[in-house]
Amino acid sequence: MTASKSSRARNARARAARSGNVAAARASVGGTATRSGGTAVKQPAAVKSGTAPKTAAAVRTGANSVSPNTRTNGQAKAPAVATPAAPGGLLAKVRAQVAGVWSPGESAVPLWLRLTTFLIALAGLGVSIYLTIAHFTESTLAGCSDTGLVDCTKVTTSPQSYVFGIPVAVLGLAFYVFMVAITSPWAWRAARREVHLVRMAALIAGIGFVLYLLYAELFIIGSICLYCTSVHVLTFILFVLTVFAAATWGIGRARTPS
């Protein structure tokens, strides 16, 4: 009787121990553990929240870790500094014009050559206006006396002073009105290449006409006119400068940015 009681007690304790182990296993899955007496035991914060603990590598590289973008051979890079934008606006345009350097899309011909051709064209226009007025008023040209070879009146009243019924002085006036427009600094900066081609074509035609007039003066009339010769010289200089500009900087070519 006593042996059976003691065996039943052992069996009851074994069942209680087994039931306690099962409860503890269930509690560990849910985040809590129970004591054998049924009291819940709190687990550590890392286990209870499900957060994995830091690895040793993470701990070693935590606070002292440096991004690869900020390190070069073990040294930290200096932070990038934004460069200020280039100055622009009206002041930059004025500086470019004074220096004779134009923005892309404008003439590559330097400012000195543009101004020179423009001033020469203005001088030719002035002489042509004077010759036209003298032709229609039949007045004597100032400072052009008859010396045999030089005889302005003989030249300006000869049959060769007309071409197709038009006075040569009027043709010269029309030519230089066009030259003033086409050799102006604004025309040199024209974006259309046709403008520069027309300038070149007009000067080729003008120099051809000058050669004809020189032949007429020297071999047909036998005298020269100082005013006419000055117009011929100005036309020749314009032709040379325009050909030089075309050969050096191209016809209507834009300046490339440096």
Burial class (CB in 10 A: 0-12, 13-18, 19+), 160: middle
Give the pLDDT band of residue 255 (cuts 50, 70, 90).
Answer: low
229 and 113 fall within a common domain: yes
Instruction: Look at residue 150 and tell me if it is in a domain.
Output: yes
| pTM for the full predicted model | 0.57
Cα-Cα end-to-end distance for the chain: 116
Q: Could you report the per-residue pLDDT of 155-191, keeping only the tens digit for each?
A: 999 999 999 999 999 999 999 999 999 999 999 999 8
Same domain? For 25 and 143 the reply is: no
Summarize pLDDT for 76-91 with one digit per residue, the tens.
555 555 555 555 567 6
135 and 15, same structural domain? no
- Is residue 38 included in any domain, yes or no? no
Tell me the two tokens of residue 138. 């039949």
175 is a domain residue: yes
118 and 1 part of one domain: no
120 plus 245 within the same structural domain = yes
Q: Do 22 and 125 sit in the same domain of this protein?
A: no
- 1 lies in the same domain as 112: no
Does residue 173 form part of some domain?
A: yes
What is the domain extent for residue 211? 108-249
User: Both 124 and 212 in a single domain?
Assistant: yes
Same domain, 157 and 245: yes
Span 135-143, mean pLDDT?
87
Average pLDDT over residues 59-88: 48
Q: pLDDT tens for residues 187-223?
A: 999 988 999 999 999 999 999 999 999 999 999 999 9
Task: Decide if 46 is inside a domain.
Answer: no
Q: Residue 129 sits in a domain of what CATH number?
A: 1.20.1440.130
Query: Is 43 a member of any domain?
Result: no
pLDDT at 148: 79
Residues 243 and 138 in one domain: yes
Asked if residue 228 and residue 130 are part of one domain, the reply reads: yes
In a domain? residue 69: no
Number of domains forming the structure of the chain: 2
Residue 31: per-residue pLDDT:
45
pLDDT score of 241? 96
pLDDT-derived band of residue 140, with 50, 70 and 90 as boundaries?
Answer: confident
3-state secondary structure the chain: CHHHHHHHHHHHHHHHHHHHHHHHHHHHHHCEEECCCCCEEECCHHHHHCCCCCCHHHHHCCCCCCCHHHEECCEECCCCCCCCCCCCCHHHHHHHHHHCCCCCCCECCCHHHHHHHHHHHHHHHHHHHHHHHHHHHCCCCCCCCCCCCECHHHHHCCHHHEECCEEHHHHHHHHHHHHHHHCCHHHHCCCCHHHHHHHHHHHHHHHHHHHHHHHHHHHHHCCECHHHHHHHHHHHHHHHHHHHHHHHHCCCCECCCC
Is residue 218 situated within a structural domain? yes
Q: Are 208 and 141 in contact (CB under 8 A)?
A: no
Residues 242 and 121 in one domain: yes
